[in-house]
Amino acid sequence: MDSISSPQAEMLLDEEPQGGPTFLDRLFDHGLLIRTGVDGLYGRSGAFESVVEALDRLISRLGAADGAEVMRFPPGMSRPAFERSGYLKGFPNLAGTIHSFCGDGAGHAEILACVEEGRDWTDQQEATDVVLTPAACYPLYPVAAARGALPAEGRLFDLQSYCFRREPSLEPTRMQLFRMREYVRMGSPEQVLAFRESWLERGTAMMRDLGLPLAIDVANDPFFGRAGRMLANNQRAQGLKFELNVPVNSVEKPTACLSFNYHQDHFGSTWELRQADGSVAHTACVGFGLERITLALLKHHGLDLAAWPEAVRDALWG
Ligand code: ATP
Ligand code: ZN
Ligand code: MG
């Protein structure tokens, strides 16, 4: 699938007036997002959550006929599993680890003294066996592999998790903690590619029904460093990742709201996940950024949910 460009994209985005309040300011002013003092770390209002929940249900309805197995993991995952997954090869800069105090009374006194004097107290913290989940599908692969070889029809999972990425930003669409809904398919290359193709269509139809201008584009993950450049180029050249982009912060740099990823046998080899015939399993996932889609709706239809177009309200709450 090549690029579907959308000529109306340019017309439907109200650019922020120079020097006026930004989209993020307006979201704070309307109480839709709540400041915490940290860029990319926000509270959400009831209205914001009502959209997230409606999207979550809509995505469930779109996938209902496929009978995906639902699993929900907490936003932290096993550190050994995370290390084995290879995430640190590609994205060391985005990873978040959980550290805790494991010391004694003297260590405790030292922490309190540090806090009191404004010195760094985190020297006392030690890495635990928990890291923050970087994408909803990461905790799934070891669990799926532990079940043994896939059945002939493969497997399909339905996931949702808060995810952490250390990418603080003033763009409201780039949060450090956000929710990702995913469907993950495991099986033969044909099975997982057919899955990805069907979600490219369904995702596009869903976003059109929500009244959002969009374009599907080939994409790459932001692999770290110089070696990462090559990985990113390969990923693009092989068409392994597509994004569904909606102009939110700007028309020139639209925002990826959905992504469609073919991992080939990367996770299958990493986790020794096999197909029924013994060959290494292939995997693909479709990811929905629940806050990003919500923000796209707020940008295009306005900050007052009650005033959204009837068709959009119907699609969400009808
Ligand atoms: P981008 O290129 O914008 O960084 P991505 O390629 O990192 O996006 P994926 O890794 O494919 O995104 O994640 C799946 C989905 O999760 C994205 O399509 C997006 O909707 C959402 N997402 C990713 N990063 C963030 C973030 N920092 N804040 C909010 N949502 C995000
Ligand atoms: Zn995934
Ligand atoms: Mg990213």
262: which 2 tokens?
A: 């073919």
Percent of the chain with pLDDT over 70: 96
Atom of ligand 1 nearest to the CA of 255: 3
Q: Is the pLDDT of residue 63 over 70?
A: yes
Distance 91 CA to ligand 1 centre (A): 13
159 lines ligand 1 (CB under 6 A): no
Output the pLDDT for position 24: 98
Cα 60 to Cα 158: distance, rounded to the nearest angstrom = 9
Residue closest via CA to ligand 1's atom 23 equals: 289
2-96+134-317 CATH choice from 1.10.3720.10, 3.40.50.800, 3.30.9.100, 3.30.930.10: 3.30.930.10
Specify whether the CB–CB gap between 146 and 129 falls below 8 A: no
DSSP state of 134: S
Span 248-307, pLDDT tens digits: 999 999 999 999 999 999 999 999 999 999 999 999 999 999 999 999 999 999 999 999
Q: Is the CB of 292 under 6 A from ligand 1?
A: yes
Is residue 229 scored above 60 in pLDDT? yes
Structure tokens at 298: 């707020």
**What is the C-alpha to C-alpha distance for residues 90 and 220, in angstroms, rounded to an integer?**
12
How does pLDDT run across 13-29, given as a tens digit for each residue?
766 778 899 999 999 99
Give the DSSP letter of residue 15.
P
Residue 3 has pLDDT above 80, yes or no: no
**C-alpha 256 to ligand 1 mean position (Å):** 6
Distance 262 CA to ligand 2 centre (A): 9
Whether ligand 1 lies within 6 angstroms of the CB of 289 is answered as yes
Reported as a single tens digit per residue, the pLDDT across 69-78 is 999 999 999 9
- Ligand 1 atom closest to the CA of 175, numbered from 1: 28
Q: Which atom of ligand 1 is nearest to the CA of 180?
A: 16
ipTM over 0.90: yes
Which residue, among 288, 295, 95, has the nearest Cα to 203 in the 3D structure?
288
Q: Which residues contact 90 (CB under 8 A, 6 or more apart)?
A: 221, 223, 224, 228, 231
Digit-coded pLDDT (tens) for 29-57: 999 999 999 999 999 999 999 999 999 99
Beta strands in the chain (DSSP E): 33-38, 41-44, 69-71, 76-78, 97-101, 125-132, 155-164, 177-187, 215-219, 241-246, 255-264, 282-289
Q: Are 246 and 213 in contact (CB under 8 A)?
A: yes
Domain ranges across the chain: 2-96+134-317, 97-132
Distance CA 268, CA 235 (A): 17
Say whether 126 sits in a helix, a strand or coil: strand
3-state class (DSSP) for residue 300? helix
Cα separation, 218 vs 2, whole angstroms? 7
Instruction: Tell which residue, 246, 256, 262, has the closest CA to residue 196.
Output: 262
For ligand 1, say whether the CB of 175 is within 6 Å of any of its atoms: yes
Of all residues in the chain, what percent carry a pLDDT higher than 90? 94
Average pLDDT for the chain: 95
Of all protein residues, the one whose alpha carbon is nearest to atom 6 of ligand 1 is 221
**DSSP 3-state percent helix, strand, coil across the chain (nearest 5):** 40, 25, 35
User: What are residue 34's phi and psi, to 5 degrees?
Assistant: -120, 125
